């Protein structure tokens, strides 16, 4: 092909500039090659009219209600709840230690009736979590999982700090051994935004703009 490219000198402006001139044959070959490539792509595109079930492009957000995620897709961290409504977390803190970003804070308390350490608040920060799954793998009680909720954009980043436990108290393994009449006294309700930062609805504090000092930029 190199013999189809001639080197010439042309006057551009007031200077003689060396240029490479492509022969008409080479140009024709390039054009045919581009057309063949286009035809190949269009053949694949039009083939989907015959087999629509093979189309992989998702019509998001129109198909939001029917979106399917691969089982290993990771989004929101969740505490797993048994059918009876009790979680499995023993507040051992291993997930807290395993997190490379400090996105988890397990706050414990001493159970009023059991006298044992139990979960008070399970704080998780979506704003710093990288969905690495290390916390899920570290949990010896299979108390955690990565959920599929993916539309998590908010205007206030304080809303990205969650309280994952619905109640403070012992895990299902302890609750189920207790007498049913005693169980309500063993637990205390916790809110989704009820962590150490007041993030619950009307309690959101006024956001003040950061002051920029000279030298910060």
Return residues touching ligand SF4 (CB under 6 A). Answer: 77, 89-95, 98-99, 101, 103-104, 106, 129-135, 138-139, 141, 143-144
Q: How far is the CB of 151 from ligand SF4 (least distance, A)?
A: 18
DSSP letter assigned to residue 2: G
If the CB atoms of residues 138 and 178 are measured against ligand SF4, the closer one turns out to be: 138
Q: Hey, what are 109's tokens?
A: 């308390």
Q: What is d(CA 185, CA 124) in angstroms, rounded to the nearest whole number?
A: 26
Centre a 10 Å sphere on the Cβ of residue 11 and count the other Cβ atoms it contains.
8
Q: How far is the CB of 88 from ligand SF4 (least distance, A)?
A: 7
If the CB atoms of residues 4 and 101 are measured against ligand SF4, the closer one turns out to be: 101
If the CB atoms of residues 77 and 159 are measured against ligand SF4, the closer one turns out to be: 77
Q: What is d(CA 66, CA 70) in angstroms, rounded to the nearest whole number?
A: 13
From the list 139, 196, 130, the residue with the least C-alpha distance to 163 is: 196
Q: What is d(CA 167, CA 112) in angstroms, rounded to the nearest whole number?
A: 14
If the CB atoms of residues 16 and 127 are measured against ligand SF4, the closer one turns out to be: 127
Q: How far is the CB of 134 from ligand SF4 (least distance, A)?
A: 4
Q: How far is the CB of 139 from ligand SF4 (least distance, A)?
A: 3
If the CB atoms of residues 103 and 199 are measured against ligand SF4, the closer one turns out to be: 103
Q: How far is the CB of 28 from ligand SF4 (least distance, A)?
A: 57
Q: How far is the CB of 41 from ligand SF4 (least distance, A)?
A: 39
CA 154 vs CA 54, 100, 158, 159, 198: distances in Å: 35, 24, 9, 7, 16
> Is 73 within 8 Å of 148 (Cβ atoms)?
yes
Q: What is d(CA 166, CA 190) in angstroms, rounded to the nearest whole number?
A: 5
Contacts of 11 (CB under 8 A, 6+ apart): 17
If the CB atoms of residues 93 and 148 are measured against ligand SF4, the closer one turns out to be: 93
């Amino acid at each position: 092909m190199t013999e189809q490219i001639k080197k010439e000198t042309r006057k551009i402006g007031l200077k003689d500039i060396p240029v490479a001139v492509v022969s008409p044959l080479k140009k024709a070959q390039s054009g045919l090659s581009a057309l063949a490539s286009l035809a190949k792509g269009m053949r694949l595109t039009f083939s989907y009219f015959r087999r629509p079930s093979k189309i992989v492009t998702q019509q998001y957000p129109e198909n939001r209600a029917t979106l399917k995620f691969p089982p290993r897709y990771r989004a929101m961290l969740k505490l797993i709840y048994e059918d009876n409504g009790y979680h499995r977390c023993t507040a051992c803190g291993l997930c807290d230690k395993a997190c490379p970003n400090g996105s988890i804070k397990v706050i414990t308390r001493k159970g009023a009736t059991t006298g044992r350490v139990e979960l008070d608040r399970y704080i998780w920060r979506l704003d710093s979590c990288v969905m690495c799954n290390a916390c899920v793998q570290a949990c010896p009680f299979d108390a955690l999982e990565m959920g599929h909720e993916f539309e998590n954009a908010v205007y206030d980043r304080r809303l990205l700090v969650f309280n994952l436990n619905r109640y403070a108290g012992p895990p299902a393994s302890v609750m189920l051994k207790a007498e049913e009449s005693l169980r309500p006294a063993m637990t205390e309700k916790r809110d989704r935004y009820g962590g150490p930062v007041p993030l619950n609805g009307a309690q959101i504090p006024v956001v003040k703009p950061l002051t920029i000092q000279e030298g910060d930029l």
